[in-house]
Amino acid sequence: MNKAFVREPELDSRPCCPRCGSLGASVNKITLDHHVQTHLRRKIDDTAWFCAYASCDVAYFDLFERSVAVGELQAPVYPKDIDAPICACFGFTIEDIDSDVQSGTPTRIRELLAKSETSDARCHISAADGQCCTREVQRLYMKQIAKSDD
């Protein structure tokens, strides 16, 4: 590929969303194939990044500054759509986190953590960012616990 036509990443070599400037999460071809509408898949290179900034309408982008908008995905994805499951593999939602906070025991989260270690977890395909959701689920749980303590 001729470097004259490739957008150079920021000085720290990290690719940022061309719309909002957020740091992108590297995704692979299989993730893109799963999430981007089939007739639009050729719109973006196989080397791409996911923009996780919830308010940004860009879902994926590449170094040519080509992008796929949230509306061009097969289905809603978290965090772009707060009602979409946080865990695309097992359908875990914010309501599940709220239920665990209200009950005072992270039962559902523990079940999710156990499931995430099985072969049924297909995070690299199902998750929009190609990453396991457990870190985000735990972060949201702790945030909700802190809010409920106020």
> Could you report the per-residue pLDDT of 27-41, keeping only the tens digit for each?
999 999 999 999 999
CB burial of residue 92 (10 Å; 0-12, 13-18, 19+): buried
Q: Which domains does the chain have, with CATH numbers?
A: 3-72 (2.20.25.270), 94-149 (no CATH)
Residue 49 identity (one-letter amino acid): W
Sheet holding 58-61, edge to edge: 24-27, 48-51, 58-61, 67-69
46-77 b/e with 16+ CB inside 10 Å = b? eebbbbbbeebebbbbbbeeebbebebbeeeb
* 134 closest CA partner among 106, 111, 113, 107: 113
Residue 10 predicted with pLDDT over 50: no
Confidence of residue 14 (pLDDT cuts 50, 70, 90): confident
Contacts of residue 46, Cβ cutoff 8 Å, sequence gap at least 6: 28, 29, 32
Q: What is the DSSP string of 80-139?
A: TSTTS-SBTTTTB-HHHHHHHHHHTS-HHHHHHHHHTTSTT--HHHHSTTSS-SHHHHHH
Residue 61 predicted with pLDDT over 50: yes
CB atoms within 10 A of CB 89: 19
Q: What share of the chain in percent tops pLDDT 70?
A: 91
pTM for the model stands at 0.87
pLDDT (0 to 100) of residue 2: 54
> Could you report the per-residue pLDDT of 78-125, keeping only the tens digit for each?
999 999 999 999 999 999 999 999 999 999 999 999 999 999 999 999
